[in-house]
Structure 1
Amino acid sequence: MKNVTITLPEQTLAKLRIEAAKAGKSVSKFMADLAEERIGSRTADPGQAMRQFLSGPLYDLTDENGKAPSREQIYDRSRVR
Structure 2
Amino acid sequence: MKNLTVTLPEETFARLRMAAAREGKSMSKFVGALLDRQIGPHEARADAAALERFLAGPLWNLTDENGNAPTRDQIYDR
Does TM, normalized by the shorter one, top 0.5? yes
With the length of structure 2 as denominator, give the TM-score of the two structures.
Answer: 0.55
One-letter code of the match for 1:35? L
Residue 5 (structure 1) shift:
0.3
One-letter code of the match for 1:13? F
Name 1:27's counterpart in structure 2.
27
Matches of 2:11 and 2:26 in 1, distance apart? 17
Residue 15 (structure 1) shift:
0.4
Which secondary structure does the structure 2 equivalent of 1:31 belong to?
helix
Mapping of residues 1-81 of structure 1, within 5 Å: 1-40=1-40, 43=42, 44-45=45-46
Which secondary structure does the structure 2 equivalent of 1:45 belong to?
helix
Larger radius of gyration: 2
Matches of 2:9 and 2:24 in 1, distance apart? 22
Structure 1's consecutive aligned runs of 4 or more residues displaced over 4 angstroms after TM superposition are: none
Which secondary structure does the structure 1 equivalent of 2:40 belong to?
helix
Matches of 2:33 and 2:15 in 1, distance apart? 16
Which secondary structure does the structure 1 equivalent of 2:46 belong to?
coil
**Count of aligned residue pairs for this structure pair:** 46
Compute the RMSD of aligned alpha carbons.
Answer: 1.5
With the length of structure 1 as denominator, give the TM-score of the two structures.
Answer: 0.53
Question: Percent identity at matched positions?
Answer: 50
Matches of 1:24 and 1:40 in 2, distance apart? 22
Matches of 2:3 and 2:20 in 1, distance apart? 18
Residue 27 (structure 1) shift:
0.1
